[in-house]
Amino acid sequence: MMYKIDKKGFYGEFGGAFIPEMLYPNIRELQSEYLQIIGSDDFREEYYSLLRNYAGRPSPLYYAARLSEHYKTRIFLKREDLNHTGAHKINNTIGQILIARRMGKTRVVAETGAGQHGVAAATVCALAGLKCVVYMGKLDVERQAPNVQRMRMLGAEVIPVMSGNMTLKDATNEAIRDWISNPADTYYMIGSVVGPHPYPDLVTKLQSVISEEIKIQLQEQTGRKNPDSIIACVGGGSNAAGSFYHFLDEKEVKLIAVEAAGKGTETGESAATIAIGSPGIIHGSRTILMQNDDGQITEPYSVSAGLDYPGIGPLFAWLNEKGRVIFENATDKEALDAAFLLMRLEGIIPALESAHALAALGKMTFTENDIVVVIISGRGDKDMEAFVRYAEQNNL
Amino acid sequence: MNRIDKLFNAKNTGILSVYFTAGYPSLDSTTEIITNLARGGADMVEIGVPFSDPLADGPVIQNSSSRALRNGMSLKLLFSQLEGIRKKVDIPLLLMGYLNPVLRFGVENFCRRCAETGIDGVILPDLPPEIYVEQYRTLFRKYNLFNILLISPRTDSERAHFIDSITDGFIYVVSSSSVTGVKPGFTGEQESYFKRTVSLNLSHPLLIGFGISSPETFSEACRYGSGAITGSAFIRMLEKEGCNGSSIIRFVKDFKRKL
Ligand SMILES: Cc1ncc(COP(=O)(O)O)c(C=O)c1O
């Protein structure tokens, strides 16, 4: 593999573990154990069995005939929205809960923005009988009430975070602070390919089941080994990392990552990190992030809470530098229009995050014979309010 | 000789270092706080560089940091405020903050400005010692800037010796597995950690920090280390009484009263 993490936990100059000494033993423990654990037969057996029988994998690869007709190309949708809890996030949390158990941890902390990762974390904690504490910015607690209720129903404690701007970035800070204060019994279950090494690599590997399945399903359905393009949205980058993973070395496959442009990359109200960010350190990782001239991390904006993160996984900072991944971005409006198009043509209500990936279809050119895989990272139930508002405003 | 070494050569007990956040309570309180801390008898001052995402800090310093940023504090402005500080005080001055603003400022530029303004050392909790040695130590040395490293209750003895071999001036002994904040007193577990650390016979002196919030905890900490660092308690005082010389002097004198 050409695009592997190095022994010190870096992708080129990106990645690493820029953490205070108080976290060093925790991180060191995880660094020294994760590969062995996830490579072991008993882990793999349990992980794949849960993915299949509990989460409902493999998720379908669906040929979207009417959408294909609309864009004059061949479009396949990878249906992560059909997973248990409604998004790709469960692939990661099933893997991490098995790790937490094997490390003898009894308590799990997690951060969440939209609440999708929080729900996925609360779900697996219930399954494993471990205590679950989810940090969520107070603003997000208010914006995403149904997911807060879901987490509580599943037995998790949801702690509203009042520091900073009271959104995902601050919730992540607070989860890390909790881990500093509870180093012995607590496992930190991060929700994307971000944070200190080994999380970016760990979460990438746990999400790589997405591309593992695409390979097999595409062969079965089309007789072809590779698609021409794969399109995924990026917040931190976990669904994209998992969808690209087994294609990274297949040069002929175009990999397209779509960031949230919010109201537009020039407006100052955007979450398109690669488009407007610069190198620095966020949540223990050296990567590209949104910051001001003084090195203060700035607040992102997107209609989609799951893409509302001012950094990006270090793998993507590197893939961008190497030119291996093409970065696109889509505005709120473009994403909403793409979501409605999918609803009306295919009868699928996508998550607002996933709608950003769909929006890229309208910004790129494909030939009639191209095979384009679009990752539907989650379902849109949580976004009903935004959809209803948009429909009313635009008479849809 | 660096002022930090000079201090520890002259004194091996009862050293009081006080932390405050630059730009808090108001944008231009920096020099007034430093000079009054020195006047009150503080042996060293840690000037906090506010950061939007202070991972290792509890609510008190989080709050002072975000207030400072809202007041308009920046690294660039802080250095200009520190211009001339060496005409006023001679105790060691450190900057404490997070790596990202330093990277953004440019590490060499940062070291140069520290040297120009008379900053003796820095504490950057999220700069790992390994990365420091590999990428930045040469620069720090060029400007005679000390880099002070931390150990925590879960640092094993092998790593403590490793950190001892790299740190400058002293070792910052984080008193418990926690973020910064105000605590009532030490537990038996903490005391045995302090004893264990002392028995490692490290080559650098120890200063104990995090949770040092009263004259009692300060004098208690001084039984194990050369002294201790207080931050959140001082900021709380500023919160209540504002930035005024006599309160600051009284705070320092009071802290040392149990020695
Ligand atoms: C449905 C869905 N897609 C995408 C994301 C973005 O995360 P990532 O970039 O890690 O896949 C989220 C995050 O909450 C999500 O809920």
| Span A23-45, average pLDDT | 97
Would the pLDDT of B226 be above 80?
yes
Q: Would the CB of A196 count as within 6 Å of ligand 1?
A: no
State the DSSP H helix or E strand holding residue A188, giving kind and residue range, or none if neither. strand A186-188
d(CA B23, CA B84): 17
Q: What's residue A112's pLDDT?
A: 97
**Minimal Cα distance from B152: which residue of A?**
A22
CA of A185 to the centre of ligand 1 (A): 28
> What does the radius of gyration of chain A's CA atoms come to, in whole angstroms?
19
Question: If contacts are CB pairs under 8 Å, which of residues 152-171 in chain A contact chain B?
Answer: 163-164, 169-170
Q: Quote the tokens at residue B223.
A: 């039984």
CA angle A68, A60, A129 (to 5 degrees): 145
Mean pLDDT, chain B, integer? 97
Give B172-191 pLDDT, tens digit per residue: 999 999 999 988 899 999 99
Distances (CA, A) of A263 to A143, A272, A309, A329, A391: 19, 10, 15, 11, 18
Q: Would the CB of A118 count as within 6 Å of ligand 1?
A: no
Ligand 1: atom nearest CA of A242 is: 11
Q: Which residues of B176-215 are buried (b: 16+ CB within 10 A; e: fewer)?
A: bbbbbbbbeebeeebeebbeebeeeebebbbbbbbbbbbb
Q: What's residue B259's pLDDT?
A: 86
Write out chain B residues lying below 8 Å of A182, CB-based. 177
Domains of chain A: 20-51+89-194 (3.40.50.1100), 57-86+208-394 (3.40.50.1100)
d(CA B86, CA B115): 11
Q: Which one-letter DSSP state was computed for residue A362? A: G
Q: What's residue B182's pLDDT?
A: 83
Q: What's residue B183's pLDDT?
A: 85
The one-letter amino acid at A250? E
Mean pLDDT, chain A, integer? 97
Q: Are A348 and A77 in contact (CB under 8 A)?
A: yes
Give B21-52 pLDDT, tens digit per residue: 999 999 999 999 999 999 999 999 999 999 99
Total structural domains within chain B: 1
Residue linked to tokens 């720090």: B140
Would the pLDDT of A1 be above 80?
no
d(CA A349, CA A303): 16
Strand partners, A256: A231, A326
Q: Would the CB of A87 count as within 6 Å of ligand 1?
A: yes
Residue of B112, B133, B146 whose CA lies nearest to B44: B146
Q: Are A250 and A228 in contact (CB under 8 A)?
A: no
Q: Using 50, 70 and 90 to split pLDDT, how confident is the model at B199?
A: very high
Would the pLDDT of B90 be above 80?
yes
Q: Using 50, 70 and 90 to split pLDDT, how confident is the model at B103?
A: very high
User: Would you call A20 and B56 a contact, using CB atoms and an 8 Å cutoff?
Assistant: yes
Ligand 1: atom nearest CA of A237 is: 9
Q: Using 50, 70 and 90 to split pLDDT, how confident is the model at A2?
A: confident
| Span B208-230, average pLDDT | 96
- Per the structure, the complete domain to which residue B89 belongs is given by 3-7+15-255
ipTM for the complex? Answer: 0.97
Note if the bond before A58 is cis, omega within 30 degrees. yes
Task: Among A13, A19, A22, pick the best mutation site for testing chain B contact (most B Cβ within 10 A).
Answer: A22
A89 catalytic per annotation = yes
Give A277-287 pLDDT, tens digit per residue: 999 999 999 99
Q: What's residue A114's pLDDT?
A: 87
Could you give the count of Cα atoms lying within 13 Å of B184 in the half-sphere of its Cβ? 1
Give A345-375 pLDDT, tens digit per residue: 999 999 999 999 999 999 999 999 999 999 9
Distances (CA, A) of A70 to A104, A341, A344: 52, 10, 12
Least confident of A85-89, A152-156, A165-169, B147-151: A165-169
Would the pLDDT of A6 be above 80?
yes
- Proportion of chain A above pLDDT 70, given as a percent: 100
**Residue among A233, A285, A304 to mutate when testing ligand 1 (max atoms within 8 A of CB):** A233
Q: What's residue B162's pLDDT?
A: 98
Ligand 1: atom nearest CA of A117 is: 14
Read off the CATH number of the domain in which B212 is found: 3.20.20.70
Q: What's residue A261's pLDDT?
A: 98
User: Would you call B55 and A176 a contact, using CB atoms and an 8 Å cutoff?
Assistant: yes
Strand partners, B147: B122
From the candidates A78, A89, A205, A382, give the one annotated as an active-site residue. A89
Would the pLDDT of A165 be above 90?
no
pTM of the model as a whole: 0.97
Helical ranges in chain A per DSSP H: 24-39, 41-53, 65-71, 89-102, 116-128, 138-143, 145-153, 168-181, 199-207, 209-222, 238-244, 273-276, 314-322, 332-346, 352-359, 384-394
User: Would you call B126 and A18 a contact, using CB atoms and an 8 Å cutoff?
Assistant: yes
**Closest Cβ opposite residue B177 in set A181, A279, A297:** A181
Would the pLDDT of B102 be above 90?
yes
Q: What's residue A247's pLDDT?
A: 98
